[in-house]
Each structure stands twice: as C-alpha cells, then as structure tokens.
Structure 1
C-alpha cells in the first residue's frame, strides 16, 4: 500500500539489516544520489561520493528514523555531506572548472545550448552554499520542499525562503542585456 508520497509502506520502514535487503531499499534512490553528488561536487568522482554515502548509510542504518523523513531525504542528506567532504579534499589540488579570473573555462567549443548551460552553471556556482544545496535538491534532484528541508536540516519555510532568494539572485545574474 503506498503512502501519501507514493512510496510503498515497506520503503518507509527502517532499512533492512541484510545486504540484499539494503540494496533493494536504496536502489530507487541511486539516480537522485548520483545527480546530487554530481551537482554538489563538480570535479570529484560522483560515483565515489555515492559509494561513500552508501557505506555511511549502511554503517548508520540503525539510526534511520522514518518519522523524521523519507528514505530519499535521509540518503540524500548523507550524499550531500559526502559531497561537501569531497569538495574540501579537492580544494588543495585546484581541480575546478573555473579559470583564474573566476570565469568558467568553456574551451574551444562554442554551442548555444552548451553556452547557456554553462551560464546557468556559473550563476548557480555564484550562489551561497546553502542556496546551491537548496537549488540542487529541489530542481536537480527533484526533491519536495519537505525532503529538501530534511536534507538541509532546516524548516520547510527556510527552504522556501532560500529558494526564493536563490531564484532572485539567478534572475539578476542571468538577465540578458539587450
């Protein structure tokens, strides 16, 4: 029987203690975990981040509390934490897609669709870390406001306010001058 969020009731219970059960429990969330890892840790290996998140989730599976959020929100919060750690590890090496002037390095390729995406990515990278997390969770990982709040560790009102501020900032950054 599905819950109000459309997830089967079994998917909202604590993660199974056995390996195959845990794999089945996390499998529906892997794509969202990979998308979020890729968005939050540009330059890092998103598969490594997801693997670290899964290892952490396995180790902490007894701490999952269905009354505090969905499995998706719990797993994505762990993924976001692992992505932040990966970015901190990258900083000394300077492996970013941004050149020394702070502009994205597009290289010799120039296509309108690629240029537009790079403009959006550059604008998103200029948001505060909290705004980026909200945008990535809500728009790119396709989480609800409630699940985004669970990932961010804040209230739904804070998520709505943060998204509003981020949209306003993005609107300003992406305005096309005529």
Structure 2
C-alpha cells in the first residue's frame, strides 16, 4: 500500500503561517497477528490492537513524514512489533498512549533514515522558470524541514504536521514544554533563513 505524497501537504500551511509571524491506511489488526493469548496493555483492560487503534491514523501520518513511502509499511510493522514487545513498560501516569506510540515511532524511524534517499536540494525541487504554486511552496518547505537537525525536525513534524500540542510534543520527546518551545523557535529561525536564501538564489537567476 502506498500513500499519496501530497495527502499531508496541506498541514504545511500552518507552519508557513507560523514562519510568517515570529492517511487512510491499514488497520492495526491487519498488521498484528491474531492470537487468543493477547493480554491487556499495562494499566488498561484493552487488547493491544484495541489500545492502539484510536491512535493509529496519527501514527501512520507521523510515519509518513519520517521515512520514504517505500519504507512506511515496514516502519509501521516494526513500530507495532516493538510496541507489542514493550507494552508492559507503558505507564499511563507518565503520558498518554498516543505520546508513547509516537515516541516508539520516532525511535524506530532512525534505522530507516540510514538507508533513505538523500534529500533533494532545494533548488532542484522545481524549474525556476515555471510558475510557483502552493504545492511547489509546500514541497520547498518540506525540503527545508528535511535539512533540520533530527531534534528540530522531530519537534516541527509533531507540532505542525501531526498537530500535537506543546505538552504532547514534550511527552514524545522526553523533555520540558519550554525546551519544545525553544526548539521550535530555533527551527523556525533556521527555516526562515533557509527559505530566504532559496528565494534570493531564485531572484538572482
């Protein structure tokens, strides 16, 4: 199964507005083998699949942001296997199920990035002579986000593309709310610089 590369691009508008100022998918039970011995997740009375299912679309959307489309299903399978093995470590007193699952997703995505294709240079994204569209702008922004450090990119992806509030982002990243705000501020500053340099290069052509 593949994901339309543009299915999550509208979320870039939220990030663009912030810079200006200062998917469907397979169900969990299709990826987790059915087994009568599936026990409830720690602190709940739900089976693993029922526990994950309410958060599955968010996990899929996040996975689609972190790895190439060809690796997405492999990452999701890996996330579910890891979450199943570590389900006993989930502590509802320390955070939500969604935050825990997204943290697992971010952790498992690192091994896929090693073999991922290198990001396309910003000036290779479109023909400078061609008219600019919102989709072009979104692709340029996506390329700029890909150039951020892992920590800054993670904060941007979680807050602007997955739509998590600061507190949830902090829970996923394992840091304080203030650290997330500082990381996002630094990421926005870097993105403004990158995009301004790109615009300057295009005007010079």
* Aligned equivalents of 2:63, 2:78: Cα separation in 1: 11
Check whether the contact 1:15–1:61 (CA below 8 A) recurs between aligned residues: no
Q: Partner of 1:69: helix, strand, or coil?
A: coil
Q: Partner of 2:105: helix, strand, or coil?
A: helix
Question: Mind listing any 5+ residue stretches in structure 1 that lack a counterpart?
Answer: 1-11
CA RMSD of aligned residues (A): 2.5
Name 1:8's counterpart in structure 2.
none
Change (3 A) 1:40 1:86: same
Aligned residues: 157
- Which residue, 92, 104, 108 being the options, matches 1:66? 92
* Aligned equivalents of 1:69, 1:39: Cα separation in 2: 23
**TM-score between the two structures when normalised by the length of structure 2:** 0.67
CA offsets per residue over residues 70-119 of structure 1, 9 Å max, x none?
0000000000011111112x15xxx2342xxx346447897613311111
- Which residue, 2, 10, 14 being the options, matches 2:43? 14
Check whether the contact 1:33–1:76 (CA below 8 A) recurs between aligned residues: yes
Question: Mind listing any 5+ residue stretches in structure 2 that lack a counterpart?
Answer: 1-40
- Are residue 40 (structure 1) and residue 66 (structure 2) matched? yes
Q: Partner of 2:118: helix, strand, or coil?
A: coil
- Are residue 51 (structure 1) and residue 77 (structure 2) matched? yes
**TM-score between the two structures when normalised by the length of structure 1:** 0.77
- Which residue, 117, 125, 131 being the options, matches 2:138? 117
